[in-house]
Structure 1
Amino acid sequence: MKSSIGLNNILQFLLFVALQILLMDNLVLYSTGFCYIYVAFLLFLPININRLLLLFLGFLVGFTVDIFYDTMGIHAAASVLMAFLRPLLLNLLTPRDGYDISDSVNIHKMGKGWFLAYTFTLLLIHHAAVFFLERISFDDVLQTLLKIVLSVLFTGVVIIILQLLFFSPKRTSRA
């Protein structure tokens, strides 16, 4: 397994963290739905990335957001959990023919159903961790569940829009 991170991934890291800090911090639906676009960095990483590197990148992106949000490690913990569970989910969603060594997570390559299952499952895990760690109790569980559902939908729609706008629909043709 090759575990290199390319310039494209570094630029995605910078872009998604900057978007989160500068734009998404102020974009909230009815004081309940939050968009955590920075998780798209972890979602869009290559499928064959080294697991230790993935965990480190999960910590790095979450810790970076924690620094600016002053959330004392909540985003880092949720991002590491998401990074830990990502390979397990990829194994569950493996196509019959397996993944190509060069596959990346892309709605055009993997299909809409696969992409939606992958994205919304990991978003649900991440957001549940963020909001339950933020609350640290099960008081007002309905309000917390509402925040999770609205935030997952909000973040998911934004991620789908990003995929459709900025990721190439061209499939690589093989001879």
Structure 2
Amino acid sequence: MNNSFGINHIIQFFLLVALQVLLMDNLVLYSMGFCFIYVAFLLFLPLTINRVWLLLLGFLVGFSVDVFYDTMGIHAAASVLLAFLRPHVLNLLTPRDGYDSSDAVNIHVMGTRWFLTYAFTLILLHHAAVFFLETINFQTALYTLAKTLLSTLFTGIVVVIIQLLFFSPKRERVDYR
């Protein structure tokens, strides 16, 4: 990995966690729709990242949010689940020609349909883990499911907006030496 790659992702980590803690904590739709923007950090990591690093980064970003939200590891567990499932979802969505080693998770490079399927699948799994771990009660399963779906939609829309605003339409070249 080169230095610009590392610096870019470190800045992205701190920026997304800060946005989550300072802004998104207070932005709730109808007491049901929560935006967990910090998952974008895991979604935007390179396609060929080492799985061990991916799991460690998943724990780190989830634990960072848990520290500020006082949620006893719920976000860490859900983020590690997202990090664990991410390579499997990427394998399911592999294009016929495969991924290019220089491809990045970018809506402009990979295509809108690919990105929406990728992002919404992982966001839905993450949010389901967060909300069902939070309640651990199946008596309120319909409410929890509604909360999961609305939060997934909210987070997904914000992630797409971030991709459209801040990610370059041209192919990003990444050097993994």
Fold match by TM threshold 0.5: yes
Is the CA contact (8 Å cut-off) linking 2:109 and 2:171 kept in structure 1?
yes
C-alpha change, 1:57 and 1:154, in structure 2 (3 Å) is: same
Q: How many residues align?
A: 172
1:158 maps to what in 2?
A: 158
Q: Which residue matches 1:80?
A: 80
The letter of the residue matching 1:110 is: M
Aligned to 1:33: 33
Cα distance 1:59–1:172, how it changes in 2: closer, same or farther (>3 A)?
A: closer
1:140 aligns with 2:149: no
Q: Secondary structure at the match of 1:146?
A: helix
Query: Is 1:17 aligned to residue 17 of structure 2?
Result: yes
Dislocated runs of 4+, deviation >6 Å? none
Using the aligned pairs only, state the percent identity. 73
Q: How far, CA to CA, are the matches of 2:98 and 2:170 in structure 1?
A: 20
Matched, 1:90 2:85: no
Amino acid paired to 1:92? L
Query: Which residue is equivalent to 2:8?
Result: 8
> For the Cα contact (< 8 Å) 1:128–1:148, is it kept in 2?
yes
Q: With the length of structure 1 as denominator, give the TM-score of the two structures.
A: 0.95
Rounded Cα–Cα distance in structure 2 between residues aligned with 1:49 and 1:19? 24
Contact 1:35 1:154 in 2 (8 A): yes
Q: What are structure 2's unaligned runs of at least 5 residues?
A: none
Q: 1:172 Cα deviation (Å)?
A: 6.3
Structure 1 gaps of 5+ residues are: none
Give how far 1:3 is off: 10
CA drift of 1:102 comes to 1.4
SS at match of 1:169: coil
Code of the residue aligned with 2:30 in structure 1: it is: Y
Provide the C-alpha distance between the structure 2 equivalents of 1:11 and 1:100, rounded to a whole number of angstroms.
25
Distance 1:99 1:93 in 2: 10
TM-score after normalising by structure 2: 0.94
Q: What is the distance in 2 between the residues matched to 1:136 and 1:172?
A: 42
Tell me the C-alpha RMSD between the 2 structures. Answer: 1.6
Aligned residue in 2 for 1:115: 115
